[in-house]
Amino acid sequence: MNNSGQHSQQFTSLRQSCAACGLSELCLPVSLDEVDTRKLDAIVERHKPLRGGEHIYRADDWFRAVYAVRSGSVKTYTLTDRGEEQITGFHFPGELVGLDAINSWVHPCSAVALETTSVCVLPYVQLESLAADIPGLQRKLMQLMSREIFSDQEMLFSMARRSAEERLAMLLLNFSGRFQRRGLSATRFRLPMARTELGNYIGLAPETMSRLFRRFSEQGCLKAEGRELQLLDLDRLADLAGRECPACAPEDRRGGN
């Protein structure tokens, strides 16, 4: 539809190598030797950064490559049959986007930058043949996909039965852990997305999100100023996320009996 000009700017000197990338521990090249890393380097395309709101690909686009987030953040989403946006994931530096298209060769969801974001483009056909050459790369790819399956399932069964409070606590802890893996603070970070979007992702109405943030603040385990978050009590959040369901509070179960 829209999408600004994207005036051709292929001249950017983006030949930063995988070897020099600070995310190599999180991304693909882990455990590759110098030669293999160079081979990988040779197929990676790096373009100029995307601005917030620009799409990496759209649902139903032909699948050509997977994308490694290098900086910034990415949101993936589909449109429901009712035309509403349904967010399927948030992706931070060191994480891959587009793996769900390998099976059908068509992207089942759209991916859009939430802020200024740069990604490494990994053309899939070449990545595949490279993986056949380099056992370590093949293994790493499989591991990444396996982890994606696992974390999706974890989210899945988290959503199924858990209360709104539990869902939000889990999401905050999930973010906390992912920021920490990147060497950032586990307790203090800035959300790149609106609260509405967080709510969309975990299946809660914006109003509920607002009330939850206030409740968490009142309980002293959270401080929020706009998108700037500070987790004040990780233990308490873990309690909120895990234990403490209506059915297992030791005292106070319903009026009678």
**Residues binding DNA (CB under 7 A):** 1-2, 163-165, 194-197, 203-211, 213-214, 224, 226-227, 245-247, 253-257
> Shortest approach of a copy of itself to residue 110 CB, angstroms?
13
Residue listed under structure tokens 């601005």: 51
Contact pick of 19, 20, 79, 149 for a copy of itself (by CB under 8 A)? 149
Q: Name the binder of 163 from a copy of itself, DNA, none, CB < 5-8 A by kind.
A: DNA
C-beta of residue 140 within 8 angstroms of C-beta of residue 28:
yes
Structure tokens at 149: 């399956």
Q: What is the identity of the amino acid at 73?
A: S
Does position 101 interact with a copy of itself (CB under 8 A)? The reply is yes
Dihedral, CA atoms, 78, 84, 86, 91, nearest 10 degrees? 70
Residues binding a copy of itself: what is the number (CB under 8 A)?
Answer: 49
Which residue in the set 10, 35, 248, 257 belongs to the binding site for a copy of itself (CB under 8 A)? Answer: 248
d(CA 68, CA 172): 23
- Residue closer to a copy of itself by CB (options 14, 112) is 112
Mapped onto helix, strand or coil, the DSSP state of residue 65 is strand
Helical segments of 89-203, H only: 124-133, 135-161, 164-181, 195-202
C-beta of 231: minimal distance to DNA in Å? 16
Nearest distance from C-beta of residue 185 to a copy of itself, angstroms? 25
For residues 2 and 10, which CB has a smaller minimum distance to DNA in the complex? 2
Binding string, residues 115-134; x marks residues near a copy of itself by CB under 8 A: -------------xx-xx--
Query: Using an 8 Å Cβ cutoff, are 181 and 94 in contact?
Result: yes
Residue owning tokens 């931070």: 92
Q: Which of residues 200-219 bind a copy of itself (CB under 8 A)?
A: 201-203
* Closest to a copy of itself by CB, 68 or 189: 68
Q: Which is nearer to a copy of itself, 74 or 155 (CB)?
A: 155
The option from a copy of itself, DNA, none interacting with 59 (CB < 5 to 8 A, set by class) reads: none
Distance from C-alpha of 22 to C-alpha of 18, rounded to nearest angstrom: 8
Q: Which is nearer to a copy of itself, 23 or 101 (CB)?
A: 101
Helix or strand run (H / E) with residue 122 = strand 118-123
Structure tokens given for 216 = 């968490």
**Pair 56, 67: CB distance under 8 Å:** yes
For residue 229, list its beta bridge partners: 189, 224
Chain residues binding a copy of itself by CB under 8 A are 78, 81-82, 86-89, 99-104, 108-109, 128-129, 131-132, 135, 138-139, 141-150, 152-157, 159-161, 201-203, 242-243, 245, 247-248
